[in-house]
A = this chain, B = another copy of it.
């Protein structure tokens, strides 16, 4: 008998029928002899609807009140799921983040977990009950309700699994983590096992699920994660520590990400402190810069290119243009229609030539590479936005990821 934390996302509990199906699954898990703790997100698109409601009411939307508003969504879902469990004869108790002992900092809309005092949840489990905890919420040291941010339910589940010494299952609307987006490449395969490090790189490369923050937490605390479907209930992808005998795929996945834009600062004097000035200014404005590339200089002059989230492009261009003359640069150009294509694989470390194959494959398909950045287990290339899907498709095939058996 083990303890399993099962987290169900918004689509998994989108309507009364889905809530009853989730209750069935929890009841089945319990009959198998496992202790179950459940974490739920708000039903369907409720979080978006609450955000829309707030925008209709207010222009200022202070964080404390946004958190009070948004967390109402998970609260409803926890109560409804408990009712459905009671109908099946499974004793269950809903808990808000505060009741479940999630103490956070006071950073509203994006609070960080400071401590999980899971005694009350533990007592419920020990009493043979199923605690159902509202995802992505807590209470701050100021005794205010806090929201952990979008995707925070995954983090709630992992943190509870850590506190209760259990495994963590993340139920979602896909059946696991895929070698690439199956909507783009229909022959994409589901990955059965992947290491924390690879999953983190895939998250950073733009893989939308699971939430990167939850993977980071799971890696730090060595909590095994199982990403799986709340619709087919089939086994999905295990995210675990790398084992010595774990087969290391050269490339585990290919991710295309069209959510960023590129800025180039041309003709920059190659002097210490120039780059720091630009990126400090961007960081102060809350812009999350992703890739940064600076070429070797010719005659003491260089170009700096970097990518930022598309929604931050206007701000970033304004900041960069404001600094251009100050640092003696020639000018600023930007491109909103780029895409980042990334390959992730732990086996890259021991297989030279992966980068060469990437460049050859793209060149053979007339796809120009605008920027390159690499880590030990990842290669990312910026290409023109309209070539993203084709780049992903040809790389997926070139590294033998197409599942030709189905």
Taking Cβ atoms with an 8 Å cutoff, the residues of A that contact B are 16, 19-20, 50, 53-54, 56-62, 64-66, 68-69, 71-73, 75-76, 78-80, 82-84, 86-87, 92-94, 96, 99, 120, 143, 145
Contact of A16 among B57, B93, B99 (CB under 8 A): B57
A87 in contact with B58 given A72-B75, A75-B75, A143-B99 (CB within 8 Å) = yes
B99 touches A83 (CB 8 A): no
Q: How far is the CA of A56 from the CA of B143 in the complex (A)?
A: 34
A75 (CB) vs chain B CBs: closest residue: B72
Minimum-distance CB pairs A-B, first 7: A58-B83, A69-B79, A68-B79, A16-B56, A72-B72, A65-B82, A65-B79
A89 (CB) vs chain B CBs: closest residue: B60
Q: How far is the CA of A69 from the CA of B43 in the complex (A)?
A: 13
Q: How far is the CA of A66 from the CA of B59 in the complex (A)?
A: 33
A54 touches B80 (CB 8 A): yes
Contacts of A120 in B (CB 8 A): 143
Contact of A93 among B19, B64, B87 (CB under 8 A): B64
A76 touches B58 (CB 8 A): no
Minimum Cβ distance to chain B for residue A246 (Å): 42
A60 in contact with B86 given A65-B94, A94-B68, A143-B99 (CB within 8 Å) = yes
Q: How far is the CA of A83 from the CA of B69 in the complex (A)?
A: 10
Between-chain CB contacts (< 8 Å), 22 pairs: A16-B56, A20-B57, A50-B76, A54-B83, A57-B84, A58-B86, A60-B83, A60-B86, A60-B87, A64-B82, A64-B93, A65-B79, A65-B86, A65-B94, A66-B83, A68-B82, A68-B94, A68-B96, A69-B76, A69-B79, A75-B75, A99-B143
Known: A64-B93, A68-B96, A72-B79. 20 other contacts (CB 8 A): A16-B57, A19-B57, A20-B57, A53-B80, A54-B80, A59-B87, A60-B83, A60-B86, A60-B87, A61-B83, A62-B83, A64-B94, A65-B82, A65-B86, A66-B83, A68-B79, A69-B80, A72-B72, A72-B73, A72-B76
Minimum Cβ distance to chain B for residue A348 (Å): 48
A15 (CB) vs chain B CBs: closest residue: B56
Contacts of A16 in B (CB 8 A): 53, 56-57
A78 touches B86 (CB 8 A): no
Give the oligomeric copy count.
2
Minimum Cβ distance to chain B for residue A119 (Å): 11
Minimum Cβ distance to chain B for residue A325 (Å): 38
Minimum Cβ distance to chain B for residue A45 (Å): 15
A145 (CB) vs chain B CBs: closest residue: B96
Contact of A66 among B60, B64, B69, B79 (CB under 8 A): B79
A82 (CB) vs chain B CBs: closest residue: B65
Q: How far is the CA of A321 from the CA of B65 in the complex (A)?
A: 55
Contacts of A86 in B (CB 8 A): 58, 60-62, 65
A68 (CB) vs chain B CBs: closest residue: B79
A94 (CB) vs chain B CBs: closest residue: B68
